[in-house]
Amino acid sequence: MAKPIIQMENIEKHFGNIIALAGVSFDVVPGECHCLLGDNGAGKSTFIKTMSGVHKPTKGTITLDGKPMHFDSPRDAMEAGIATVFQDLAMIPLMSVTRNFFMGREPTKGRGPFKRMDIKTANDICVESMRAMGINLRGPDQAVGTLSGGERQTVAIARAVHFGAKVLILDEPTSALGVRQTSNVLATIDRVRKQGVGVVFITHNVRHSMAVGDRFTVLNRGKTLGTAERGRITAEELQDMMAGGQELASLEGSLGGTV
Amino acid sequence: MAKPIIQMENIEKHFGNIIALAGVSFDVVPGECHCLLGDNGAGKSTFIKTMSGVHKPTKGTITLDGKPMHFDSPRDAMEAGIATVFQDLAMIPLMSVTRNFFMGREPTKGRGPFKRMDIKTANDICVESMRAMGINLRGPDQAVGTLSGGERQTVAIARAVHFGAKVLILDEPTSALGVRQTSNVLATIDRVRKQGVGVVFITHNVRHSMAVGDRFTVLNRGKTLGTAERGRITAEELQDMMAGGQELASLEGSLGGTV
Amino acid sequence: MADTAQIIVDERIKKESFGSRLMQRPELGAIAGVVLVTIFFLFTADSAMFTLSGIMNFMTPAAQLGILAIGAAMLMIGGEFDLSIGSMVAFAGLIFGACVVTFGLPLIIAIPITFVFAALVGALNGAIVLRTGLPSFIVTLAFLFILRGVSLVGLKLATDGSTQLRGVRDAVEGDFLTPLFSGDAFGGLFAWLAEIGLVETFNNGAPKVPGIPVEILWFIALALAATYILLRTPYGNWIFASGGDRNAASNSGVPVRRVKISLFMLTACCAALVAIITVMDAGSTDARRGFMKEFEAIIAAVIGGCLLTGGYGSAIGAFFGAIIFGMVVIGLSYTNFDQDWFQVFLGGMLLIAVLFNNYIRKRVTGER
Amino acid sequence: MADTAQIIVDERIKKESFGSRLMQRPELGAIAGVVLVTIFFLFTADSAMFTLSGIMNFMTPAAQLGILAIGAAMLMIGGEFDLSIGSMVAFAGLIFGACVVTFGLPLIIAIPITFVFAALVGALNGAIVLRTGLPSFIVTLAFLFILRGVSLVGLKLATDGSTQLRGVRDAVEGDFLTPLFSGDAFGGLFAWLAEIGLVETFNNGAPKVPGIPVEILWFIALALAATYILLRTPYGNWIFASGGDRNAASNSGVPVRRVKISLFMLTACCAALVAIITVMDAGSTDARRGFMKEFEAIIAAVIGGCLLTGGYGSAIGAFFGAIIFGMVVIGLSYTNFDQDWFQVFLGGMLLIAVLFNNYIRKRVTGER
Amino acid sequence: QDIIVVSHGQANDPFWSVVKNGVDKAAADSGATVDYRAPETFDMVAMSQLIDAAVNQEPDGIVVSIPDADALGPSIERAVAAGIPVISMNSGSDVSKGLGALLHVGQDEFDAGKAAGEKLASMGGSVGICVNQEVGNVSLDQRCAGFSEGFGGSVEVIPTQNDPAEVEAKVKAALESNPDIDTIMGLGASLVGEPSIAAVEAVGRTGEVNVATFDLSAGFLEAIAEGRAAFGIDQQQFLQGYLPVIFLALNANYGLIPGGNVPSGPNLITQEKAAQVVELSAKGIR
Ligand SMILES: Nc1ncnc2c1ncn2[C@@H]1O[C@H](COP(=O)(O)OP(=O)(O)OP(=O)(O)O)[C@@H](O)[C@H]1O
Ligand SMILES: Nc1ncnc2c1ncn2[C@@H]1O[C@H](COP(=O)(O)OP(=O)(O)OP(=O)(O)O)[C@@H](O)[C@H]1O
Ligand SMILES: [Mg+2]
Ligand SMILES: [Mg+2]
């Protein structure tokens, strides 16, 4: 296997008296899609937030391209080539779609004191990226606050994909998406993976994860239950692990195994 | 078929110059689960918001138990027995779980000037309802802002189920939920339906909708594409309609038909 | 939010001490500030400051400010501001003064009239804010000017051209409600305490502290009532919800408009209460009463931990915030510092008190 | 946000007129208020108000306020307040006055020193806010008191006990930078215009309007620059983002700390600019300069459409907000209303101007 | 005729409301149209703009107070240059002539403070406080400075805000922490003088501490009459409003103008005179 781009070792994270992560290790190699799975509240979002510089780990080390790293801010992580779709999307409702899309990394033209935002380019890229995901925007200056849930999520994904240089982290990216948009996102993951980007994909949908995942790590109550490679684990086994091993049979039965 | 509890006729809704709903009709009968499906931005959330009193329709009529109704506020709709899980959940991050759970409908004890919140009862009900959904709260006074995405969604669902008297509206309730919690929610829908409550269930997941739905209405670009009854339509047909009839085959193929 | 915690056994929760659980409450953080300010003055101020009469002395203005601050805090928790409360003190003072002096009404009528007028203006403020969706900052600002101006004009009408309306003390003399709103309570008790030597006396044998000024009692009562309402009643829950996220609250069935309008009315009534107390105490009212009090009230609420964005804070915090502010303002005259430095000290002490309170809270709760 | 709209054919969009698209911009709503106020004064005020000299007369205070308001608006869009700008006017005035009078420095040195001091205090404000996570309201409030106090003490030091420092006009006489910061620009032009009769003259032949007061030019330049920055540069985007949602912005890679600290510095420098202009114009400075200007600046920004919660607003809006405020304050002195009613009118006019602006915007955009 | 009065005191300030009453009375007596203007707070920049606004209206006369000659000078000179007669009042007696004003009606703040200080020193005072409710307002600062000089003994300035309860508490605090204080000089009667008397009573030192104040209020006058306070300094500000307007009206009609400044004060109101003045004070005339 290739050398990991990013390697997280024994990460712990405490919030006041709450232990959200109790020692998690994880790595991503170029060109793979590493799925992070687990029950609600298992600590997935907290974990990828430490990976993208939002939280500082209480304990543990992060190694990027073989060198130990300290991210002081998400900006540091971004400059190291890590792009993230957060579960809460990190969008500003009052700002337009384009401005949200390029927030923090605006394209410019002109130079010196006349360096200014290249709004036309920005609008074009934004509309184009959204169309590629299956959403036709009414206009790039619509406020994000007036978009539907799925439209908003698509903006966040398109943005991360556009700026994802080495690692692309997606925290439940398809939760609010329609059928067509979901297919597009999965296809996109497939495409960027083939370009050599390492993808971290969080989802509750076993089918989605089986469709694109190369490796599967399951978190449970702040700890790793283990990592499996594609082909070594079945969808049913994965599902059992994700649910924390609880009895699903009875429920499943009554609903016809549809979950 | 039983007489509908609530009947919406030719609902239109415009936001400034944007037409979100261009004439949608819909009804719910007691004891059924009516699924509302459609692409991102089709107008599902806007539609159920007019049903639960958040938006006033620009045109169209709402009939409740045979009588025409005007909801001036969500509170009116609630008092008429309609409980809703909104897509944005309608939670206050800074407030505790219990306080969010009972917000607007607090249980009281004592009388006259000594009428006060019955905090113990409230906490107990809240913890119990959450446990029934598969979430063990650390404590009922944790702030909602510190819950994980799925935990937060579960609070919203548990609340609506607890207060859902005649109609229960669920806008993508399972989007952030884990496997176990999803099963619980589907089972809950099944249970309340059997108690005679009418359920409106919005989802992008065809399997979920097929599991519990009695009727299926598909919205597209602010219009109804039609309503089908259970057994008269297959999952594949539904999926095609939801995606707006676009070509999915190629994508599906490359990903192994997993969406 | 102070719900009783149900302890569930969970390996993902670290143990925490009783002290740290206590300090997590917004209402208690401000205590740290009070302690710090007290320690500072214990070292720098004349010992007279912490005698019984010294304490009453700084508590009286603190209480007058605090009554406003508690109202302002509840409104801020509910997500709105009222910048007109300072002017409302002058306006309500005028109404009250005109009732008792110009029209010679007894208190039992004059006081309700004053509250009704105040509540009406508060309701008007609220109605405009909710009707138009304008920020309350700008609407109540307009009323800051309007009420101040109306007070001036009204005073001139009521007094034939002066801006001071006098004779309130004589007019309310002997009214059975007077002791409730002016002077000192528990006079008998203090006289007795002085006799047995527990309270210092003047040479003529009268106790140095004739009793507890009524505003202090009102202040404490209001803080307790407001805390009870916020933490223990459905209405309190609605206040937090309305301020936390108006849409979410309204979507969950909270009658946001009703809550906000009632809060505007409450705040205005707090201002009217202060007006009645101070006018009866001073025996007169003038057009400058309550000048800048709206800002001091907001300051006290913020020191006490209220967020300007709404949805978070406590009445007890505002209580301590008002005490901190009152102590710092009055306390400096007990010290030997050059009074030219007054404002520098005031600002510095405020900053230090708030920083300390913040530091303690973070230390204790372990958040970063 | 004013990105060029790409028109896509979509059956779900109703057509809308050019006018309604224009009014949707926050910066243009305030124009409605200006129009309304102008109409009001056209009917009630002395005709002198809208002569050239009358316009200069109300534009001068509007410009001085407006320079502060634009700074305050940018900071508010960035999600913070600075309540210390009023005191900063006094403090920077002291620094500047002391430099030119007490130390006899030329402007080319004195002006940069003043800006550096102001920027340092601004940075200190920002650093404390970001470091401790305290609300900027309370931190800058402390500096409101501290700077005001320091100005008082400093003035007494610089003048041997007076609170007024005089002689600035003599000290800067003849300095080559003086025309940039004081007096009237285009004096020659106006003298010529007077000669050919286009500008009214006094009996002695001097033009009634000797030129355009420099603060008006600064005001316009600043409004244009701020608008350009907000709408057309990445930094402007970061300001909106930082104010809209701090976490989301920071998670998206906006350097929120840097943005906010630079905004605090900018606001302080705006205050310093006002201080330099007014001190040179008046020839003196005293400890009460800039009193309450922080609130007036915030008022102007809010009239102009800035949200107190941050993330929304415009510099052009603040520009018109300041003009509305300036027109109302000065305009009332051109009318025959009794001064006793001044505040009632001020409040009423503010309210009506804002209501009207709001009503127009809603009517035009069709939102409810 | 049109006459405009621009002062530095607000119409809701008890002191200035009396000036304004004088202005209104003069307007009624002379039949002139008179407008009274003042900035919202003590603000010299704003005040100079109000004078400019007045000049623009080309009235038949302007009345101004001049607390800061540097800041207001150019505007006044502009009025004079435009041929508008100007009379100064209240403050600025020393600079009035130089700026081209016809004459000055008023009292010099510093001299008034000095006179009061001398009087209080002669009443046996040695340790005093000067309670200033608006530090930084130059005319108030001058009163304290004059008081210091005239008093001779040790004087401390106590800064307060515009709130009677706070003034009372602060004076009490000062009295309690320094029992040697035997003299209190207030800079405003209702805002500072009356609460100071209350504070002296609360610490049980009535009669030992001399309380005096600038300006008058009915309540304070009653206290003087009852012997609980020493005196009030009356500068008869009604005249400062009344006379300049009358002068300007006469000037406009007949070209009449007095030949020199009119000193309207200081005028110490002690126990003997207090009782007569109370009624007038309650009406806003003294
Ligand atoms: N700021 C915080 N303060 C206290 N507890 C927190 C905080 N953030 C997260 N937690 C707790 O940490 C645990 C892990 O949360 P996290 O959001 O990482 O879960 P998750 O695996 O992403 O769940 P989901 O699938 O529901 O999104 C949760 O139980 C949550 O309550
Ligand atoms: N307040 C608003 N102002 C303007 N446009 C709006 C507003 N709310 C919704 N819209 C538009 O109306 C359309 C329908 O939105 P809605 O939220 O109802 O979609 P949805 O069917 O719920 O989609 P999703 O599945 O993504 O949640 C969207 O295109 C959205 O941009
Ligand atoms: Mg998560
Ligand atoms: Mg939706």
CATH code assigned at B189: 3.40.50.300
Q: Which pair of structure tokens corresponds to residue C344?
A: 């520098």
Q: What is the mean pLDDT of chain C?
A: 86
- Closest atom of ligand 2 to B42 CA is 21
A222 in contact with ligand 1, CB cutoff 6 A: no
What is the CB neighbour count within 10 angstroms for residue A50? 24
Domains of chain C from N-terminus onward: 29-39+48-361 (1.10.3470)
The DSSP H or E segment spanning E100 is none
Q: What is the mean pLDDT of residues B25-45?
A: 92
Whether the predicted pLDDT of E175 surpasses 70:
yes
Q: Is B101 a member of any domain?
A: no
Q: What one-character DSSP code corresponds to residue D332?
A: G
Both structure tokens of E46? 């704003």
* Torsion from C-alpha of C145, C150, C152, C157, nearest 10 degrees: 170
What is the per-residue pLDDT for C7? Answer: 42
Burial class of residue D174, CB neighbours in 10 A (0-12, 13-18, 19+): exposed
pLDDT score, position D203: 66
Instruction: Give the model's pLDDT for residue D26.
Output: 59
Q: State yes or no: cis peptide before D210, omega within 30 of 0.
A: no
Pocket flag, ligand 2, residue B17 (CB < 6 Å): no
Is A144 a domain residue? no
Q: Which residues contact C309 (CB under 8 A, 6 or more apart)?
A: C79, D309
The pLDDT value given to residue B250: 46
Distance set, CA D72 to CA C24, C134, D239, D327 (Å): 33, 19, 13, 19
Return the beta strands (E) in chain A as ranges.
6-15, 18-28, 33-38, 59-64, 67-69, 82-85, 108-109, 116-117, 167-171, 198-202, 215-220, 223-229
Give chain D positions within 8 Å (CB) of C94: none
Query: Residue C156 in contact with residue C89, Cβ under 8 Å?
Result: no
Assigned token pair, B205: 């997941």
CA angle centred on B166, ends B165 and B172, rounded to 5°: 90
Q: How far is E278 from chain C (nearest CA, A)?
A: 11
User: CA nearest E116: which of E92, E83, E149, E85?
Assistant: E149
**Given a contact as 3+ CB pairs under 8 Å, which chains touch C?**
A, B, D, E
Q: Are strands E154-159 and A6-15 parallel, antiparallel or unpaired?
A: unpaired
What single-letter amino acid sits at D273?
L
A93, A103, A119 member nearest D252 (Cβ) = A103
Number of domains in chain A: 1
CA distance D255 to C236: 38
Residue B76 to residue B53: CA distance in whole angstroms: 7
The CA R_g of chain A, rounded to the nearest whole Å, is 19
For the residues B183-207, what does the mean pLDDT come to? 90
Reading the block at residue B180, the tokens are: 């176990």
Kindly give the distance from the C-alpha atom of residue A138 to the centroid of ligand 2, in angstroms, as a whole number: 11
Strand A33-38's sheet: what is its strand order?
A82-85, A167-171, A198-202, A33-38, A215-220, A223-229
**D144, D147, D150, D284: which to substitute to probe chain E, counting the most E Cβ within 10 Å?**
D284
Residue B109 has pLDDT above 80, yes or no: yes
Residue A143 domain flag:
no
| Average confidence (pLDDT) per 10 residues, chain D, 368 residues | 46 68 64 87 87 88 95 94 94 95 92 96 95 88 92 88 85 88 82 77 71 92 94 93 92 93 97 94 88 89 84 90 89 82 86 80 56
The alpha carbon of residue C241 is apart from the nearest alpha carbon of chain B, in Å, by: 6
| CA-closest residue to ligand 2 atom 14 | B43
Find the angle CA(D249)-CA(D251)-CA(D255) to the nearest 5 degrees: 60
CB atoms inside a 10 Å sphere around CB E243: 22
Model pLDDT, residue D191: 79
Q: What is the bridge-based pairing of β-strands E183-186 and E127-132?
A: parallel
Q: Can you give the pLDDT at residue A259?
A: 42
Please choose from A97, A133, A142, A146 the residue to mutate so as to test ligand 2's pocket, defined by most ligand atoms within 8 A of CB: A146
| Structural domain contains residue A115 | no
Q: What would the pLDDT profile of C11-63 be if each residue is shown by its tens digit?
A: 777 766 666 666 566 566 678 888 888 999 999 888 888 888 889 889 999 99
Q: What is the pLDDT averaged over residues B13-34?
A: 90
Whether B180 is in the pocket of ligand 1, judged by its Cβ within 6 Å, is no
Residue pLDDT tens, chain A, 259 long: 578 999 999 999 998 778 899 999 999 999 999 999 988 889 999 999 999 999 999 999 999 988 998 888 999 999 899 999 998 888 998 899 999 999 988 998 888 778 888 989 999 999 999 888 888 888 888 888 888 888 999 999 999 989 877 999 999 998 889 888 898 889 989 988 998 999 999 999 888 898 899 999 999 889 998 899 988 888 888 888 877 555 444 444 445 444 4
Closest partner CB to C311 (pick from B90, B92, B159): B92
Write the residue with the smallest CA distance to atom 24 of ligand 2.
B40
* In a domain? residue A122: no
CB B18 near ligand 2, within 6 Å = yes
Residue B176 CA: which ligand is closest?
Answer: 1
In a domain, B16, yes or no: yes
D106 CB neighbour count, 10 Å cutoff = 14
- pLDDT at residue number D62: 94
Nearest to C347 among D137, D145, D358 (CB): D145
Whether B148 is covered by a domain: the verdict is no
Q: Which residue has the higher pLDDT, E62 or D332?
A: E62
- C133, C138, C358 member nearest D134 (Cβ): C358
Please report whether residue A132 resides in a domain: no
Integer angstrom CA distances of residue A30 from A214, A230, A245: 11, 16, 31
Pick from E132, E118, E121, E128: nearest CA to E181: E128
3-state secondary structure of C8: coil
**Domain of A22?**
6-90+167-254
E136/D288 CB distance under 8 A: yes
Tens of pLDDT, residues C314-323: 899 999 999 9
Strand pairing class (E183-186; A116-117): unpaired
* Residue of minimum CA distance from atom 9 in ligand 1: B146
